[in-house]
Amino acid sequence: MIESQPNISQQPIQFERKSPKKPKMPLKDRWSIAEIEALYALSFSDLMFKAQTIHRENFDPNKVQVSTLLSIKTGGCSEDCGYCPQSARYDTNVENEAMMPIDEVIKAARAAKQAGASRFCMGAAWRSPTDKDLKSVLEMIQEVKKMGLETCATLGMLKDGQAHRLKEAGLDYYNHNLDTAPEFYGDVISTRVYQDRLDTLDRVREADLHVCCGGIVGMGESRTERAGLIAQLANMEKQPESVPINLLTQVEGTPLHGTEPLDLFEFVRTIAVARITMPKSYVRLSAGRQSMHEGIQSLAFLAGANSIFYGEKLLTTDNPDVKVDQALFSKLGIHPI
Ligand code: SAM
Ligand code: DTB
Ligand code: SF4
């Protein structure tokens, strides 16, 4: 009899534990970048098996949470995020628009609920909201909440007190992404630093809001940098409840347009690694589904993704038609929640 190969997924990974500058969780529980890279390096089958096993220990594998996005303030943003079509610095086909009137927001939320979304996420192209901006958003949140939808907002950096006001208005989740690893961050954005993002996330946590925090892959970062992003997320004192993993949607006119596209198996591996390191978080298969065959999306669900953006638009770019997503759910036996 041929002796079987040892199953790599069952072998303990050799953990390299480096002393972090500012420990956020007990050292023994922290993920090192080397450990995360070791997960990435598993064979695809071993990685998927591990991710699916952990997924099933923590979630119903046939349920996928669905959130609909709406851009309530589009374009004209002062920041220079290299991926973003809404920056005023880049010549894209996105115009600087005024804030959307509240009745249009309500109409869009009603349609999202009707189509089956359980969460409604309002996004604004701001570096950070002024208190006047925030007042308008608070009214929107109150109205959307009244409809029985979960509420989420992504408005940029928050100042002291703003997160509490959002919470009081009925906000459930605040989305603020780390985007990438600290080591690659400066290659993508220069108008705010990594610590600014961490400070906003601290304010969101202090206000007892649920944290939605993830990043983008396919921006030309290395695998080590992808692992670095996952390490930042997984090592937060409390892991984010929701982790959006976006594949860069390349938009003409942005500096990252023309970047070598990421191999989609590497994207699926990133979802699996997020699932393994953040077992109780909802991992969202986010931007980029338009460029993914349904086979790849199915692999992402197998890897532990259990949330999507649902509806024909993300903020300014296209997302699959609701009917197409419903057909995929039906083929896979997925129940949207
Ligand atoms: N202006 C606010 C901010 O930056 O925090 C909120 C909206 S911003 C568009 C929210 C997130 O969308 C970004 O942090 C980024 O992760 C993601 N995003 C923006 N453009 C993207 C693109 N072209 N492809 C993938 N993700 C993108
Ligand atoms: C997130 O992580 N992805 C969403 C949401 N949070 C706000 C945004 C994706 C934006 C894709 C580009 C666009 O449509 O403008
Ligand atoms: Fe502005 Fe947000 Fe786009 Fe950056 S990601 S340019 S902050 S809208």
Q: Do 335 and 65 touch, CB atoms closer than 8 A?
A: no
Rounded mean pLDDT, 242-249: 98
Q: Known binder of ligand: residue 213?
A: no
> Which pLDDT value is given to residue 24?
59
Residue 309 CB contacts under 8 Å (≥ 6 apart), including other chains: 67, 68, 69, 121, 284, 286, 287, 289, 319
CATH number for region 42-336? 3.20.20.70
User: Is 240 close to ligand 2, i.e. is its CB under 6 Å away?
Assistant: no
pLDDT at 3 over 60: no
pLDDT at 13 over 70: no
Q: How far is the CA of 53 from the centre of ligand 1 (A)?
A: 31
Burial class (CB in 10 A: 0-12, 13-18, 19+), 220: middle
- The conformation of residue 89, written as its DSSP 8-state character, comes to T
For residue 26, the tally of other CB atoms under 10 A from its CB is 7
Q: What is the mean pLDDT of the chain?
A: 93
pLDDT at 21 over 50: no
Rounded mean pLDDT, 311-320: 98
**Residues within a 6 A CB radius of ligand 3:** 77, 79, 81, 84, 86-87, 125, 127, 156
**Residues within a 6 A CB radius of ligand 1:** 83-84, 123, 125-126, 154, 156, 176-177, 179, 216, 246, 248-249, 251, 287, 315
- Percent share of the chain, pLDDT over 70: 93
pTM of the model: 0.93
Indicate which atom in ligand 2 lies nearest the CA of residue 284. Answer: 2
Q: Known binder of ligand: residue 121?
A: yes
- Catalytic pick among 30, 81, 203, 226: 81
The single residue listed with the structure tokens 């990438």 is 180
The per-residue b/e assignment along 137-169, b for 16 or more CB within 10 angstroms, e otherwise, is: bbebbebbbeeebbbbbbbbbbeeebbebbbeb
Q: Known binder of ligand: residue 84?
A: yes
Rounded mean pLDDT, 142-149: 98
- Helix H or strand E encompassing 174: strand 173-175
Q: How far is the CA of 78 from the centre of ligand 3 (A)?
A: 8
Return d(Cα 261, Cα 259) in angstroms, integer.
6
In this predicted model, what pLDDT tens digit does every residue of 52-111 receive, in sequence order?
999 999 999 999 999 999 999 999 999 999 999 999 999 999 999 999 999 999 999 999
Catalytic status, residue 213: no
Q: How far is the CA of 16 from the centre of ligand 3 (A)?
A: 35
For a mutational test of ligand 1's pocket, the pick from 69, 81, 184, i.e. the residue with the most ligand atoms closer than 8 A to its C-beta, is 81
> Which pLDDT value is given to residue 28?
77
- Percent share of the chain, pLDDT over 90: 91
pLDDT at 298 over 80: yes
